[in-house]
């Protein structure tokens, strides 16, 4: 069975950092294969994982639509196929698997840019099936989402075991986290458990006003990640965050959360 962990939250709260720490934990403590899915067009999950990225799913999607349009203009292939009679589903399956960025103990799929003008319904249906099919080959799937959870809303065959909503330690951040968490009730997929993660706390204790708001939220607090100078130095130097020391406060905090829920 595949365990899916989805990260959510507004931009800039540290979703990608938490995703990297979860993947680091899974690599070090679990034997199953890990698939990372970067579903945030503005995210750089490949950079924090130390992987080069040549193609994204968005690039492949635009390429296939371009080929179909050219063929139709020339009076060629029907909408279900590409020039030469290649089936779109087979084309997507081949190219997405070829675009997988491979790490030592994990692989990465980047969703890339959002949709441009035109009809994407048929292509997106095939994309869902291909990516869900690939996910079944992994013990763990970690998804770094955009705030609107658009990628999750398109999943049709996979449940999500854990949705982790990340917030910075501010009132505005928690309000945004509550709104993001509320999206889960509108999705057509089943999310088994949802938790809040407070990221980047300085001083070691939560201010009473923030604690009061967290107590009123409809998702429980999973854990708190402290501010970490070593992580800031890694970010400044452009070093992959998966190379953080095991005694890093950030990694230890995330590892403790994963031990609790997995």
The tens digit of pLDDT for each residue in 138-186 reads: 999 999 987 767 667 666 446 899 999 999 999 999 999 999 899 888 8
What pLDDT is attached to residue 112? 80
What pLDDT is attached to residue 84? 60
Name the nearest CA neighbour of 153 among 179, 118, 111, 184: 184
Specify the CATH number for the domain of residue 150.
Answer: 3.40.50.300
The reply to whether 73 falls in a domain is no
The reply to whether 82 falls in a domain is no
Q: For residues 38 and 111, is the Cβ–Cβ distance under 8 A?
A: yes
The reply to whether 123 falls in a domain is no
CA dist 239 and 245 (Å) reads 12
The reply to whether 97 falls in a domain is no
CA–centroid distance for 111 within its chain: 9
What pLDDT is attached to residue 122? 59
CA dist 127 and 154 (Å) reads 9
Residues 6 or more apart in contact with residue 21 via CB below 8 angstroms = 241, 244, 250, 251, 254, 255
What pLDDT is attached to residue 154? 67
What order of strands is seen across the sheet that includes strand 221-226?
101-102, 106-110, 34-38, 140-144, 3-8, 160-167, 191-201, 221-226
What pLDDT is attached to residue 130? 85
The reply to whether 190 falls in a domain is yes
The reply to whether 118 falls in a domain is no
What pLDDT is attached to residue 212? 96
List pLDDT tens digits, range 213-240: 999 999 999 999 999 999 999 999 999 9
Q: For residues 49 and 105, is the Cβ–Cβ distance under 8 A?
A: no
List pLDDT tens digits, range 60-112: 887 877 776 666 665 555 545 565 667 778 888 888 898 899 988 899 998 88
- What are φ and ψ of residue 140, in 5° steps? -130, 140
pLDDT band at 113 (very low <50, low <70, confident <90, very high): low
Q: Which domain holds residue 177?
A: 3-54+107-113+138-261
The three-state secondary structure class of 82 is coil
What value, to the nearest 5°, has the Cα angle with vertex 122 and ends 121 and 128? 85
Q: The pTM is what?
A: 0.89
Tokens of 255: 């590892």
List pLDDT tens digits, range 18-63: 999 999 999 999 999 999 999 877 768 999 999 988 888 888 887 8
What pLDDT is attached to residue 163? 94
The reply to whether 200 falls in a domain is yes
What pLDDT is attached to residue 81? 56
What pLDDT is attached to residue 23? 98
The reply to whether 34 falls in a domain is yes
H helices of the chain, in order, are 15-29, 45-49, 57-73, 88-99, 121-135, 150-154, 171-183, 208-216, 229-237, 249-261
Q: What percent of the chain has pLDDT over 70?
A: 84
Higher pLDDT, 222 or 121: 222
Q: How far apart are the first and last CA of the chain?
A: 13
Q: Looking at the 3D structure of the chain, how many domains does it have?
A: 1
CA–centroid distance for 207 within its chain: 30
């Amino acid at each position: 069975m595949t365990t899916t962990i989805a990260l959510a939250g507004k931009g800039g709260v540290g979703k990608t950092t938490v995703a990297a720490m979860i993947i680091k934990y899974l690599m070090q403590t679990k034997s199953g294969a890990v698939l990372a899915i970067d579903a945030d067009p503005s995210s750089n999950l490949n950079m924090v994982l130390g992987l080069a990225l040549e193609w994204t799913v968005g690039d492949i999607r635009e390429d296939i639509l371009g080929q179909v349009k050219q063929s139709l203009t020339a009076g060629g292939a029907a909408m279900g196929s590409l020039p030469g009679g290649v089936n779109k589903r087979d084309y997507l399956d081949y190219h997405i698997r070829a675009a997988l960025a491979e790490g030592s103990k994990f692989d990465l799929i980047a969703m890339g840019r959002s949709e441009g003008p035109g009809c994407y319904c048929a292509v997106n249906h095939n994309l869902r099936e291909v990516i869900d099919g690939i996910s079944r080959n992994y013990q763990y799937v970690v998804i770094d989402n955009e705030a609107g959870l658009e990628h999750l809303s398109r999943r049709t065959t996979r449940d999500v075991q854990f949705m982790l909503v990340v917030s910075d330690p501010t009132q505005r951040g928690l309000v945004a986290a509550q709104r993001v968490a509320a999206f889960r009730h509108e999705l057509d997929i089943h999310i088994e458990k949802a938790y809040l993660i407070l990221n980047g706390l300085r001083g070691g204790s939560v201010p009473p006003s923030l604690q009061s708001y967290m107590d009123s939220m409809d998702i429980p607090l999973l854990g708190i990640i402290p501010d970490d100078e070593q992580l800031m130095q890694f970010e400044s130097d452009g070093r992959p965050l998966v190379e953080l020391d095991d005694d890093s406060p950030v990694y230890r905090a995330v590892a403790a959360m994963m031990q609790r829920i997995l």
